[in-house]
Amino acid sequence: MKKSSSLLVFSIILMLFSGYSPKAKSPKHVLIFGIDGLSVEGLKQASTPNIDKLFSDGILSLNTRSVMPSVTLPNWTSHLTSGGPEQHGVTSNGWTLTEHELTPIETDSEGYYPSIFKILKDQTPETKTAFYYNWGNLINSFNQKYLDEVNFEADDQYSENYEKAFQFSKAHQDVPSLIFLYTVHVDHAGHNKGWMSKDYIKAIEAADKAIGDLIKKMKSDGLFKDTNFLLITDHGGKENGHGGLSIGEMEVPWAITGPNINKEQNFKTPNSNANTAKVIADIFGVKELQPSAIGKTPKGIFKK
């Protein structure tokens, strides 16, 4: 036996007797910051040091397209299902399971269009899922049986939800987890005072502070480095509204950072809100979404 082979055998025996075992891979974690009504110009003009720092090592797209119509519930449903309105049937903010015009092209056993939460629970059942929100209608298009924790915070408040997201991340750091952390206060500032008004910009800056505080706590507790973070939104705005086809309404920010993500601050690859769930599925190693999904992973997001 050659000397090198003898050393290898000796090393393996030594590791076995010393109790050594190869380090297991860290479980996948994804935390989504969903900021309703965040426009490209709003993100550019507001002071957002925490968002800027967080995503400086990842992908930042400023030309991602909303699905049509550029309305809240259709777009959040597309983000979290990788279906378009033609597939999931959510065409307005008034959609409910019992009251809607267009039936989903496919459904789970309760009649909901399949979400990324269902996909993960079906294919990686150890994954823990959470959904935190402060706009009441948002939950209507998602089957809560696939969510391990749900919390609604009234009156545009979101601090409790941010704390719950931190605690959920901490409690489930040893298993895969997907957290959707949403706030509507930026959108409401746009409706009440106008997109690009002082109040609108202040609302974005308040969201940035909340994100920064959460990231600081996650770093302190060792939760940061193994987590992929996304920043997504449903639409931009024009004057005091949205729903139209202007670039300010239809083109939105979209960002991702974390393990195995490339760094590209001027990401120009065509992207859509309908791609988000597919990107999340790729992070978790899930190869297949529901048959009718239209989302795909844009080239250049993941390191080879």
107 belongs to a structural domain = yes
20 belongs to a structural domain = no
292 belongs to a structural domain = no
| CATH code at position 179 | 3.40.720.10
184 belongs to a structural domain = yes
From first to last of its 304 residues, the chain has per-residue pLDDT tens of 444 444 444 444 444 444 434 445 678 999 999 999 999 999 999 999 999 999 999 999 999 999 999 999 999 999 999 999 999 999 999 999 999 999 999 999 999 999 999 999 999 999 999 999 999 999 999 999 999 999 999 999 999 999 999 999 999 999 999 999 999 999 999 999 999 999 999 999 999 999 999 999 999 999 999 999 999 999 999 999 999 999 999 999 999 999 999 999 999 999 999 999 999 999 999 989 999 999 999 999 999 8
Strand residue runs (E) in the chain:
29-35, 59-65, 128-133, 149-152, 177-183, 227-232, 251-257, 264-267
Contact 33, 230 (CB under 8 A): yes
Overall number of domains in the chain: 1
Helix (H) or strand (E) holding 28: none
Domain that holds residue 49: 27-283
- Return d(Cα 249, Cα 208) in angstroms, integer: 21
294 belongs to a structural domain = no
14 belongs to a structural domain = no
240 belongs to a structural domain = yes
15 belongs to a structural domain = no
Distance from first CA to last CA of the chain, Å, rounded?
38
Phi, psi angle pair for 187, to nearest 5°: -60, -45
Strand pairing report for 59-65 and 251-257: antiparallel
